[in-house]
Chains A and B, each alone.
Chain A
Amino acid sequence: MSTTDAPAPAAETTKRSGALELSGRQNLIVAALVLTLAALAPFLFDEAGDIMNNMVLAAAYVVMALGLNIIVGFAGLLDLGYVAFFAIGAYTVGYFASGFWSNVNNEEGFSLGVGKPASELPGFHFNFLIILVLAVIATTIAGMLIGLPTLRLRGDYIAIVTLAFGEIIGRVAINGDEVNIFGGSLTAGRQGVTPVDKIDPPFVDRFLALNLRPWYWFALAMVILVLFVNFRLRDSRLGRAWIALREDEVAAASMGVPLVKTKLLAYGTGAAFGGMSGAFLASYLNTVNADQFQFAFSIFILAMIILGGLGSIWGVVLGAVVLSVINNHLIPNVFNTWPGKVGLDFDLTELSFGIFGFLLVIMMVLRPEGLLPERRRQLELEEGVGTDEAVYEARMP
């Protein structure tokens, strides 16, 4: 590069960046608008139709994606085993809101804060709000435990270690029906724990499978909570520490950012949201099946945040909604007719993960900053500041 155009890139970047940069008040207005529309949307659709079902799932995925965004987007720790937290959250429901531990209390069951049919059945039956708290506690601890061994590792090793943990938890879930523990088995394996108690919040009727609106509003409430936490964290001391860590670990450490605490908090917080959403999905899908906890699910969530824009909160929400619509509506109902039209015979739903893989490649090569990029991240990408590359580059002369 010649010296004459040296100052140009900076000016160009500021001009070129189509990054979404909102002030605090604009953000509030956008949030209020989007969420009001989202809250009113169910009245437009059939209360037990496909569209409602997809909306509930999309909201649950938004919660998960925002959780993973804290780990990968904010703190820059590539976690390929996020499904572990889905599994742990779901099994919290399986253990404490179903007939899974049927031998408890002389096969009469033990219930806490739940209404009639569930309170008379064998097994533990806790109120869903209690379970949500339990799931958050369990996944936070699990997140930190999984994060602990990765503290000293470089970026790509972190990815593989988290992937290995995710796989270990997935395999244990599948094989857990062979393990005897407390007079039962560890998991129900591929058969799944089913049925699972429906959400039974205080002051409101128990949620039903035939009316999906309450489920949707409950998920939306989780989204609002998680969005709030995300924005507050991002703009906090901790959030700035995460971003500093992502940009340059050595520089961050020498500026006094406590690496261990900061990293563990990222893992813990991100995991907690995964657990929340996992518990919700278990109750909503009415099963805790070991086949749900595959590596592909981690990539599904990762694709959401990469599509939307790593670190960009609104981008991640958009990415989660878009991928959820692609996965649950467009692929099975729209794209799936295309192979037939051109004379091919295969089921496109089987190939959904190939499509997501393709999306990952395309996004990373053509638009790594995502659909709604975060400006900071975009600058990092253009300058070539890596997650931990800088650490090693710094040692080179």
Chain B
Amino acid sequence: MEAASVPAPRPSPGDTFRKLVGSFGLIAVLLILPIVFAVDDLKDEGDLSRLANNIVDGLSNGAIWALVAIGYTLVYGIIELINFAHGEVFMIGSFVTAWFFGVIGLTATTGAVGLVLGIAATLIVAMILPSTMNAMIERVAYRPLRNAPKLAPLITAVGFSFILQNVGLLWQGGSPRSVEDIIDSQKDLITFGDVIITRGDVLAVGVTIPLVLLMTAFIARSRLGKAMRATAQDPEAARLMGINVDTTISATFLLGGALAGAAGLIYVLYQTQIWYFQGFTAGLIAFTAAVMGGIGNIKGAVLGGFIIGMIQQMIDNREDVGIFQMGPAWTPVYVFAYLVLIMVFKPSGLLGEQTREAG
């Protein structure tokens, strides 16, 4: 950049550097891992097929995190609460899915038409139940504390997270339970050379993208969406303009819960197992995604979800790189490290926060 053309005082090299780090630092940090992996893969195997497959699988994982992350971001945007119980709402979505498959008798032998109709019906149930539950939690545990210190609803959210975990524990028992793989999710559908796209990948992305588009359209176009945006900007002013703030907040929780329920359905079809504890880690991963994209920012949550999904898949599929241990057991360590780094150095995330505090 030509410093002389700026009429303001000459920026020192330090300032320019800081500005560069501010805008591109996070992107650079996010790129380090894939580059290291690419070098490692080239050294070990001579091609990049493993990385490419990780990216494809990561997009499907990321679809799940994106849907959950939107719930965090919507709620944070509107009432500035980290809805700690949101991961558990996602877990309940999975449980409802597995239960409803049993109710309507969906199995791997069901015909194609039955399968599509059955999954569509399950999707509706898996969205309605968790979303109702999410709104009920808001009514019981967050609304009475709206004028309390900010940490009070966070503590009740943690409390509800434990309550829901135990509901799941009572419902399906303490150990992971496998669910029948009714869509044969690992079957190859399309292959480009060594890169394989499976049925599960198509399903995950195919459910997520329309839902996200539908929801963004709802928020951008509908009356309730407008009320949500107004409340997020300034609840006091929104109330003065005749918006029912409580209803709007309930609607936000309904919407977030519905998307978490859809994520739960994808999780069941894709991972084919459920566990009462799945929501805790998933919740933190999705929250990381929301912060990475910029909390309060829906596009950011989707972007963050996909990025975290890919990073997670890359780490899951490697034993170690140099002195760093990798593998599924270590993935949360890296994701949480990202969470800390982003929150400390770039709390506005990739696309910028959209909250009252930031704005």
Contact = CB atoms under 8 A, between A and B. Distances in A.
A387 B81 contact: no
Interface string A294-307: 01100100100010
A168 interface: yes
Interface string A152-164: 1111110111011
Interface in A191-214: none
Given A159-B82, A299-B158, A387 B163 contact: no
B339 A360 contact: no
A178 interface: yes
A172 interface: yes
Contacts of A157: 343, 347
A161 B329 contact: no
Contact of A354 (B145, B162, B340): B162
A356 B161 CA distance: 11
Nearest to B143: A365
B169 interface: yes
B148 A381 contact: yes
Nearest to A172: B333
Which of B144, B151, B332 has the most C-beta atoms of chain A within 10 angstroms of its own C-beta? B151
B299 to A, nearest CB: 21
B89 to A, nearest CB: 14
Given A351-B170, A357-B159, A360-B156, A381 B149 contact: yes
Contacts of A159: 82, 151, 154
Nearest to A295: B280
A108 B34 CA distance: 46
B167 A354 contact: yes
B218 interface: no
Main secondary structure, interface of A, reads: helix
A187 B168 CA distance: 31
B170 A154 contact: no
Nearest to B280: A295
B80 to A, nearest CB: 8
A93 B320 CA distance: 29
A156 B154 contact: yes
B286 to A, nearest CB: 12
Given A167-B332, A360-B158, A350 B169 contact: yes
Contact of A351 (B151, B169, B287, B330): B169
A155 B151 contact: yes
Contacts of A360: 155-156, 158-159, 162
B336 A153 contact: no
Given A168-B333, A179-B325, A351-B166, A357 B158 contact: yes
A397 B284 CA distance: 35
B160 interface: yes
B231 interface: no
A358 B159 contact: yes
Contacts of A356: 159, 162
Interface string B242-286: 000000000000000000000000000000000000001000100
Contact of B166 (A76, A80, A178, A357): A357
Nearest to B320: A178
Given A178-B325, A365-B156, A384-B149, A160 B141 contact: no
Contacts of B340: 149, 161, 164-165, 168
B344 interface: yes
Contacts of A346: 170
Interface in A341-372: 346, 350-351, 353-354, 356-361, 364-365, 368
B114 interface: no
B165 A354 contact: yes
B287 to A, nearest CB: 7
B174 A350 contact: yes
Contacts of B80: 156
Q: Which 4 A-B pairs have the closest CB atoms?
A: A354-B166, A357-B162, A360-B159, A386-B149
14 contacts: A76-B151, A157-B343, A159-B151, A165-B340, A174-B329, A178-B329, A306-B155, A354-B165, A358-B162, A359-B159, A360-B162, A364-B159, A380-B149, A388-B150
